[in-house]
Amino acid sequence: MELGRRIYEVAHLTGEFVLRSGMVATEYFDKYRFEADPVLLDEIARAMVPLVPAGTEVLAGLEMGGIPVVTALGRHTGLPCAFVRKEAKAYGTRRLAEGADLAGRRVVVVEDVVTSGGQIVLSTKELRALGADVREALCVIDRQQGGAAALAATDLTLTSLLTSDDLKTAAQ
């Protein structure tokens, strides 16, 4: 669990933090701290490779934290990547998802940290409307605060490299 210990040391903060879900936490994993470390991010991606489901055709990283993770994971799997915006821009290509084509392809959503799963649920609905076959989501850290259940309710399976409990155990 050396990787978990390193992530904990780099990214674990204490204080008062308002999460995307609106919940307030006294502990926070600052994902940008591990995503900004190219050596650590590469090790995370390498460890995630076995978690990518067989038959995956495209990895789709969610804006913003999922983008560096999906890029690193794509390097290790050789799979094409898509970069999914929270909403399509009104200019340029005006696409919700940039990069690899998704229609008719088996897509795995990639996120950095999952709390409630809200953004994955929203993005998956939009990706499915674009013709993507999305059944799974993959994340670096599952905060174990309802995300897996929220995804299951929309026919998605969440797989995480680590959970909050794993990181606490690794830090001891």
* 24 marked among binding-site residues: no
* 125 marked among binding-site residues: no
Report the C-alpha gap between 76 and 94 in whole angstroms.
29
* 112 marked among binding-site residues: yes
* 86 marked among binding-site residues: yes
Report the C-alpha gap between 41 and 140 in whole angstroms.
10
* 106 marked among binding-site residues: no
Q: What is the dihedral of CA 23, 127, 62, 29, to 10 degrees?
A: 30
- 105 close to 132: Cβ distance less than 8 angstroms: yes
CB-based contacts of 26, cutoff 8 Å, min separation 6: 14, 15, 16, 17
* 135 marked among binding-site residues: no
* 31 marked among binding-site residues: no
* 157 marked among binding-site residues: no
* 145 marked among binding-site residues: no
67's enclosing H/E stretch is helix 66-77
* 92 marked among binding-site residues: no
- For the chain, report the end-to-end CA distance as a whole number of angstroms: 11
* 84 marked among binding-site residues: no
* 18 marked among binding-site residues: no
Report the C-alpha gap between 161 and 172 in whole angstroms.
18
* 108 marked among binding-site residues: no
Return binding residues for 5-phospho-alpha-D-ribose 1-diphosphate. Answer: 20, 85-86, 89, 111-119
Binding site members: 20, 85-86, 89, 111-119, 143
Binding-site residues for orotate sit at 115, 143
